[in-house]
Chains A and B, each alone.
Chain A
Amino acid sequence: MYNLWEIRKRKGVSLPTLSARTGIPLRVLEDYEYGVKPIPYEDLSRIAKALYVEEWEIKTLSEPPPQPRRRPPQPEQRAQASGEKSPPRPRSKPSKSSRRPPKRRQPPPPAPARETQLAHLRQLAPLVGKTIEQIEQEIGKPLEKLTRQEASRILFEFQEILRERKQKKREEGTHNRKRAYLPEGVDQFELEYLTKAQEEGVPVRFHLFDGTEVVGVIVGFSPYSITIRVNDEEKTLNKLAIAWYERETEDKG
Chain B
Amino acid sequence: MSSGDYLRFLRALHGGKDFFTIEAECGVPSGIMRQIEQRYRAVGDKETLRKLAEYYGVPAEEVLWRHEWSRARLTFALEDALRKKLPIRLYLRTGEVYQGRVKWVDLGATCLDVDGREIVIQRHWVDKWELVTE
Q: Which residues of A contact B (CB under 8 A)?
A: 179-190, 193, 207, 209, 211, 238-247, 249
Q: Are A188 and B106 in contact (CB under 8 A)?
A: yes
Q: Are B94 and A189 in contact (CB under 8 A)?
A: no
Q: Are B94 and A190 in contact (CB under 8 A)?
A: no
Query: B17: nearest residue on chain A (CB-CB)?
Result: A240
Q: Are B107 and A185 in contact (CB under 8 A)?
A: yes
The interface size of chain B toward A, counting residues with CB under 8 Å, comes to 32
Given contacts A183-B8, A183-B38, contact A244 B107 (CB under 8 A): no
Given contacts A182-B38, A183-B8, A244-B125, contact A239 B119 (CB under 8 A): no
Measured CB to CB, the closest approach of chain A to B103, in angstroms, equals 8
Q: Are B106 and A184 in contact (CB under 8 A)?
A: no
Within 8 A of A (CB), among B1-54: 4-5, 8, 11-13, 16, 34, 37-38
B58 within 8 Å of A (CB atoms): no
Q: Are A190 and B125 in contact (CB under 8 A)?
A: no
Bound-state CA distance A242–B123 (Å) is 10
Query: B112: nearest residue on chain A (CB-CB)?
Result: A244
Given contacts A183-B37, A183-B38, A249-B117, contact A243 B107 (CB under 8 A): no
Q: Are B117 and A243 in contact (CB under 8 A)?
A: no
Find chain A residues with CB under 8 A from B37 CB: 182-183
Find chain A residues with CB under 8 A from B94 CB: 207, 209, 211, 243
Given contacts A183-B38, A189-B104, A211-B94, contact A243 B121 (CB under 8 A): yes
Find chain A residues with CB under 8 A from B107 CB: 179-180, 183, 185, 187
Give which listed residue, B8, B38, B122, contacts A243 with CB less than 8 A: B122
Find chain B residues with CB under 8 A from A242 CB: 122
Bound-state CA distance A182–B105 (Å) is 15
Find chain A residues with CB under 8 A from B120 CB: 190, 193, 244-246
Bound-state CA distance A180–B37 (Å) is 13
Bound-state CA distance A241–B105 (Å) is 19
Measured CB to CB, the closest approach of chain B to A15, in angstroms, equals 50
Q: Are B8 and A240 in contact (CB under 8 A)?
A: yes
Query: A191: nearest residue on chain B (CB-CB)?
Result: B106
**Which of A186, A187, A239, A240 has the largest count of B CB atoms less than 10 A from its CB?**
A240
**Which of A186, A211, A242, A243 has the largest count of B CB atoms less than 10 A from its CB?**
A243
Given contacts A189-B111, A249-B117, contact A239 B122 (CB under 8 A): yes
B124 within 8 Å of A (CB atoms): yes
Query: B13: nearest residue on chain A (CB-CB)?
Result: A209
Q: Are A244 and B121 in contact (CB under 8 A)?
A: yes
Given contacts A190-B106, A209-B125, contact A246 B16 (CB under 8 A): no
Measured CB to CB, the closest approach of chain A to B45, in angstroms, equals 20
B72 within 8 Å of A (CB atoms): no
Q: Are A241 and B16 in contact (CB under 8 A)?
A: yes
Q: Closest 6 interchain pairs by CB?
A: A187-B106, A240-B12, A189-B104, A243-B125, A240-B16, A244-B121
Find chain A residues with CB under 8 A from B121 CB: 243-244
Query: A246: nearest residue on chain B (CB-CB)?
Result: B119
Measured CB to CB, the closest approach of chain A to B62, in angstroms, equals 17
Given contacts A185-B108, A193-B111, contact A238 B122 (CB under 8 A): no
Bound-state CA distance A59–B12 (Å) is 60
Bound-state CA distance A183–B12 (Å) is 13
Query: A249: nearest residue on chain B (CB-CB)?
Result: B117
Give which listed residue, A179, A182, A187, contacts B109 with CB less than 8 A: A187
Measured CB to CB, the closest approach of chain B to A14, in angstroms, equals 46
Q: Are B111 and A238 in contact (CB under 8 A)?
A: no
